Structures are given as C-alpha cells and as structure tokens.
Structure 1
Amino acid sequence: MLDSLLALGGLVLLRDSVEWEGRGLLKALIKKSALSGEQVHVLGCEVSEEEFREGFDSCVNSRLIYYDFFRDPLSWSKTGEAFPEGPLGVLRAICRRTDPGPATIALDSLSWLLLHLPCTAICQTLHALSHQNSYPGDSSPVKQVHVLGLLHEELHGPGLVGALSSLTQTEVILGGLMGQASAHVLFRKPQQRPTYQVDPRTHLTFNLHLSKEEREAKDSLILPFQFSSEKQQVLLRTAPGQPPSHIFYEPDAYDDLDQEDPDDDLDI
C-alpha cells in the first residue's frame, strides 16, 4: 500500500478523525521515502520534534529536515530558532531548492496551517509544490515531489475539504468498523491535454451541405406565411371606394371551425 501511495508525485491527503488518527500512517510514509533515498522535509506543528522522531532509527532521522513550529508557533520568543517568514516561507524555500533529486514534504498537520493561515495562500503553495512549479526568479523547478498532508477532517467544513481534494493526486480516508481500522484510497489520474483535435463533422448520419438541385428546390419553396401574388395585387391596387384594408383567411387543415355562436347562451 505504501508503495502505491508514493508511486505518483503530487499531494497525498491523509484524512483522519479523532477515533482513527493518521499520524502513524504519515510516519510510515516518511520512513518509506527516507529509506528509498529521498530527502524528507517535515513541518512539525502539533507535536514536539522529539515525539515526532520517536520510533525512527538513525538512518531515517538523518534524512529528516525538521522545521519546528510546535515550540514557538507564533514566533513570540524571538529566538534564532524562529522562522521569520513562517511556514509558508519555509514551503516556498523548499520549492526554490536547487537539489535536483526527489523529495518528500510532510505537513503535520495541514489542519494547523489552515487554522492559522489564509486558505488561498496555502492552496496556492501546495499547488506550486505538488506540480513542481517554480516561483518568480527561480529557473530550476524541482523534480518529483511528494507532499504528505495530514488533515483532521472533523475540524473543517465540506467546502474547504472539497477545495483541498481538488488539488490532490491521492486521498486516504481513514476509518474503521468494530475496532478494525481501514483506509479508503482514492487515486486521481492527472489531467492531460489532447494531442489531436477531432472534427465534429466527421461520422455524421446526415449531410450538412445541399446539392444544386436541393438548393433550387429550397429557393422555390413557398412558405405558408408568405403572401401569394393575388394577395399582393389586391393590397397594392385598391379600387376607388373600396375599404383600405382586408382580412384574408385561409383555413388550415387542422382548424376547428365551429359554426355555432359560442356566446348564444349569453343575454347580450
């Protein structure tokens, strides 16, 4: 399962709940990336660095670049350990890195970032990271990047969760039944532009063009709403003493002609 989650680049969204936590799966994916030789950047916001590194051996911990936002999340201490541009500045710096190799970026957690930073800024940054885009002034876009975002789904509304889902390549929804944990994995195919265009006029069951005979028949057709030559002559040549207007009525085959007076029962 871990190999399939990391097979594609882009954003992998881990959606957990109070009952079924997802930090264990996040750490398992981080371990898999580190053992495969990738450099792993971790934004730690919810637990301490010591607690997060617990359970990793020295080989994995040596490949972790940890950014500690748990100790001083709002930079109140003003120490050298604080990051002046905050979490978004760290993510932008990772996006501008010059190391051409693949990398994994773990957000622990994405919910913490969404509760402290504008949603639009986070989505734009995630899109830049997961699609290997470079920021202005950067001529070296990064290669394949895995972005692992831990999302506590119960803290957010359906609109925000839907916006994040539209950015993901893979979603993992953690749940369970009768004490047995389960994971529902959703893979999205990357959108690709078509390499050719199809003529919509091909393979039609009817002809869009008229032949010479069909066009002549069309031009000679007299439509039912057109005046006949007799009507035109009468309208153009009015005899002296004749009323200036006439009503010409040509009954249709489907006209309902009732000879009786519909108002004969009224005392008029």
Structure 2
Amino acid sequence: MLTELLQGTDAGGFLIIQDSASYSGRHLLKSFINAALNREEAVHVLGFEVSEEELKDGLKGSPVQRLHFHNAYTDPLGWTDQPSFTVHQFCLEELTRLVKQTSHPKPATLVIDSLSWILRHVSAPAVCKTLQQLRKGGAVRAIMGLLHVDMHQRGTVGSLCHLATSVITVAPGMKGDEAVAKITKRSKSGKVVQDEEIFSIKTDLTVVVQSKPSQLGHKQADPEEQETDPTANLTFNLRLSNTEREAKEKLALPFVFSKEKKTALLHSSPGSGRILYEPDANDDYDQEDPDDDLDV
C-alpha cells in the first residue's frame, strides 16, 4: 500500500505522516516530494523546521525546478521587516495566492513541514478549517503534512487524522536501515483499509518495501503478552469429556416439550373432560337483544 500511495493516484487527498522522537518521518516525506516531482507535478513546500538547502538535499536533477520552497524557517513569526512566509499566513487566501503565483498548468501539491510547528501558534480548529477549505477549493491537487504525534494531545491528533484520507505512522524497525509503516487509508466511499509494511529508503529517496511484519519469524512476542489459560490452576474442572458431553446432549430440559408431549397437549383424548354451560332461568338472556339487561 505504501507503493500505491507514492504513485499519487488519488486527487484531492490529504496525507499525514506521523512520526515521533524515536524515528523521523522527514525522509519519507522527501520521498513523496521526489515522487511528485517525477510525475511532473509542481510542489509547494511550507518549510518551518528545516532550511531550503536541507530539504533539497538528495533531490537532484531537473525536477527540482518545479519545487517551490516558501521559507518559514528563517522568520516564522514575522519579527523582521520582510519575512518570506509566517505562520500567521496559514489561511486559505494566502495559500491560494502562493500556489497560483507559478505558471504550472496543473494543480500543485502542497507539502507542510510541519503541521506540528503550525499547531504551536494556530488553534487546531483553525488549522482543520484551512485544510478542509484547501481540499475542497481545488487550488491544490493534494496535501501532505508531517506531524509529530508526541508533541500534541490525542484529541488534536485525532481531529487532523479524521480529515486525512491516508495516515502513515512510522516507527523504527528491527535493523538500522529499516522502518515500519502502519498505514490507514480511507476511500471516497468511506471504506477504511489498514496495512503494515517494512520499508527502507535509499540514498536517491527511493522507497523499497521489503515485507510485512507478520511474515518475519524472528520477532517473538513477549512472555507477558502471550495469552494465558485462566482455568489452569482451578480446583474444579470446567471442561466436559466426550462421555459427559453426550450425556448432556441427550438430557431433556424441563421446559422443552418433546414431540409426543406437544401432541398430547394439543389433541384431547376421548376421555378428557369438558366444560359445558347451560343458561339458568335467572340469566334473562335475550338472543335478539343481548344488551337488554343493561341500563343504556
């Protein structure tokens, strides 16, 4: 599924790469940027955490000409007289103006590096509103964002992931050059597909999907995580033997009627009793007017 997401077939998508202090997702984000440039797409990067030189490190060749870096790393809060891009410009009008400055005919891909930096200075509802407006406005083809999950509360992360069409959570693998990607993809029909893959990133930012963690035999479960039998040390037996199980199946329950008993109850025998009612003279029953004795 990671290879499918790198192909970028879904237009109007919102991809979030979740990382933590144990493993950085920026290399995977750069792989997505490289894949978009190779598809001849224009890519606009809002750079808050790294400089333009560091971001373009590894992105070599002519596709870099379609990479537009908006420098929010030097002066993210606008303390100087002429800031390039500030966090306060993270709104629909400013972002649309930035994207439409280029003469590329196709809608561009917007990359946010990172959403965590913006969330430190802009409220989560405002960030979600801007992202939703960008998705529906048509100014960008797709949105990609890096999110450091260990910097935010669970509700903030959940709100952003609810807007995303795909979420990739990265973690370190068993080997030094391997990483684990837990992927959640939501289709337009609402179907949710989850997958887990082991991948590595080459020096040219090519992603190589190696295998699934379930296919590896060297990862053993911890003894505390193994399932224990709660009936192991009981003084009585909760299981039935084959003989006891057969006797239980043959036992007739007191409130379950057999076929013979149902027949006997539904069909009366010749000697069974009946209740006969003969009207008395004091009944004063008139067949033509049954309600004659009522004072109505």
Query: TM-score interval w.r.t. the shorter chain?
Result: 0.5 to 0.7
User: 1:113 is matched with which residue: 113, 118, 121?
Assistant: 118
TM-score norm. by structure 2 comes to 0.57
CA distance in 2, matches of 1:86, 1:38: 24
Task: Kindly state the Cα deviation for residue 129 of structure 1 after the two structures are TM-superposed.
Answer: 1.9
Query: Which of the pair has the greater relative contact order for Cα pairs under 8 Å at 6+ separation?
Result: 1
Say if 1:189 and 1:69 are closer, same or farther in 2 by CA, change over 3 A.
Answer: same
**Percent of counterpart pairs with the same letter?**
32
CA distance in 1, matches of 2:104, 2:5: 25
| Structure 2 alignment gaps of length 5 or more | 191-289
Preserved CA contact (<8 Å) 1:38 1:63? yes
Coordinate RMSD, CA, aligned: 2.7
1:71 and 2:70 matched: no
CA distance in 2, matches of 1:35, 1:59: 9
Amino acid at match of 1:78: D
TM-score norm. by structure 1 comes to 0.63
> What is the aligned residue count?
190
Task: Kindly state the Cα deviation for residue 27 of structure 1 after the two structures are TM-superposed.
Answer: 0.4
Task: Kindly state the Cα deviation for residue 21 of structure 1 after the two structures are TM-superposed.
Answer: 0.6
- Equivalent residue number for residue 50 of structure 1: 53
Say if 1:230 and 1:109 are closer, same or farther in 2 by CA, change over 3 A.
Answer: farther
Task: Kindly state the Cα deviation for residue 96 of structure 1 after the two structures are TM-superposed.
Answer: 6.1
Superposed CA offset, 1:77-111 (max 9, x none): 11263559623354242566785513211100011
Say if 1:166 and 1:75 are closer, same or farther in 2 by CA, change over 3 A.
Answer: same
Aligned runs of 1:69-148 on 2, under 5 Å?
69-79=72-82, 81-82=84-85, 86-88=89-91, 90-94=94-98, 100-131=105-136, 133=137, 141-142=138-139, 145-148=141-144
Say if 1:79 and 1:60 are closer, same or farther in 2 by CA, change over 3 A.
Answer: same
Preserved CA contact (<8 Å) 2:40 2:63? no
Say if 1:70 and 1:84 are closer, same or farther in 2 by CA, change over 3 A.
Answer: closer
Amino acid at match of 1:75: G
Q: 2:84 is paired with a residue of what secondary structure?
A: coil
Amino acid at match of 1:152: H
Preserved CA contact (<8 Å) 2:76 2:86? no
CA distance in 2, matches of 1:101, 1:178: 41
Q: 2:24 is paired with a residue of what secondary structure?
A: coil
